[in-house]
Amino acid sequence: MRWRRRQWWRSLVDPVDRVTTVWAVAYAGFGLVCALRGTPLFHLGGAPASPALSWAAVAVGVPAAVASGAVTRYGRRPFLRVLLWVTCVLAGCAAFGLLMDVITLMFGQGVDSVPAAANHVLAATGCLLLAITARTVGGPAAAAVAPAPSGPPAPSAATRSVRLAACVGTVAFLPYVAMKLVWVSGGTFAGVTGEQMLAISERNGASGIWLTLESWGLDGTVLLAALGVFLLWGLVRPWGQVCPRWTPWLRGRRVPRGLLLVPAVIGAATLAPYGALGAGYMALATTGVVTMRQGDFPSPEDALLVGWIGMVAFGVYGFALIAATRSYGKRTRPFPTSGAGPVSRITEDFGAGRAGTGG
């Protein structure tokens, strides 16, 4: 049964270079249509960027199509692998904002731009496909043979340094959560009362679900922060690999790797650069190099205080999530790393979630 399962997963992985080529052509075509029609695919500072930047999608899709198509015909070559990784990174940059789109949809609020949201989804899909293609041999030259599997690894905790990073990432959210709870409870922080913050949310187009939660004394971002901390500790503790005793209906069943890795990768790729760049801007504003806009706050100083709290929380948590995700990926790898070919490594990445579940 396990042999058939491995063969089934390999049948999906082997033609991934062809699927990547199809995606690259489609993405380049999508970018070309948007660029010719003057449809902006990117946003800068919350406002639509110049439609000329839509040509960036074409600049990513065309070399990705060339590289993945060459892999299909000639197999992996060093220069092709470099090109695949470069386009993978660029596609990941183009996918920035996907997490924000998911959050707005979760709370019943529409995305700011449908073309931009579609670009985020397409770019994220391409980033995954390009990473898989860069790691697989592909094409007629493929001759990797996977070693006998060692079975799913025993549940284990992350190293002490990674657990410490998780602690720091958790603590970094406490000032942010405290600030939000002051507002939803009707208090005043940074010169803004809870009533004023609710009115600001209504004016900015917050959904009914979001406003209802705030009327109940619950803030949507606080709930998401709690979910993010739960994800972070699931990545560093053994119960993130096998369901613990406090889930009796799932006790002892292995947790699929993708269940934690997918949201972790999306969150890390979004929050870490967002927090880092935002903290850099806060530093420039603090030193007077740039002027901080006060926005809905009484003074630029109040806006700067709130900005620092938010950027530190997102940035520190994002980098802690990167460390935890890397550790979780290594600890849950079901095949021995020594002697494993590229095909076997990517096969295990997809199949590990179901190995050891008993069916």
Domain boundaries, the chain: 2-135, 160-332
Taking alpha carbons only, the member of 352, 316, 351, 347 closest to residue 331 is 352
Taking alpha carbons only, the member of 99, 109, 116, 97 closest to residue 48 is 116
- Secondary structure of residue 201 in the 3-state scheme: helix
> What stretches of the chain adopt beta strand conformation (E)?
43-44, 47-48, 188-189, 192-193
Phi and psi, residue 329, nearest 5°: -60, -40
Beta bridge pairs of residue 242: 254
Strands 43-44 and 47-48: antiparallel
CA distance 357 to 252: 9
Q: What does 215-277 look like in DSSP terms, one character per residue?
A: HTT--HHHHHHHHHHHHHHHHHSGGGTB--TT-TTTTTPBPPHHHHHHHHHHHHHHHHHHHHH
CA distance 12 to 343: 11
Per-residue model confidence as pLDDT tens for the chain (359 residues): 444 545 444 444 457 778 889 999 999 999 999 999 988 888 765 577 788 888 999 999 999 999 888 887 776 678 888 899 899 888 988 888 887 778 777 766 767 788 888 998 999 899 888 888 887 644 444 444 444 445 667 888 999 999 999 999 999 999 999 999 999 888 999 999 988 888 888 887 777 777 787 777 788 888 889 999 999 999 999 998 888 777 777 777 888 888 898 889 888 888 888 888 889 989 999 998 888 888 889 998 999 999 999 999 999 999 999 999 999 988 988 755 444 444 444 344 434 443 333 33
Whether the Cβ atoms of residue 266 and residue 99 lie closer than 8 Å to each other: yes
Its pTM stands at 0.73
| CA 346 to centroid of chain Cα atoms | 19
CA distance 207 to 230: 25
- Secondary structure of residue 353 in the 3-state scheme: coil
Tokens of 172: 């970094």
Whether the Cβ atoms of residue 225 and residue 177 lie closer than 8 Å to each other: yes
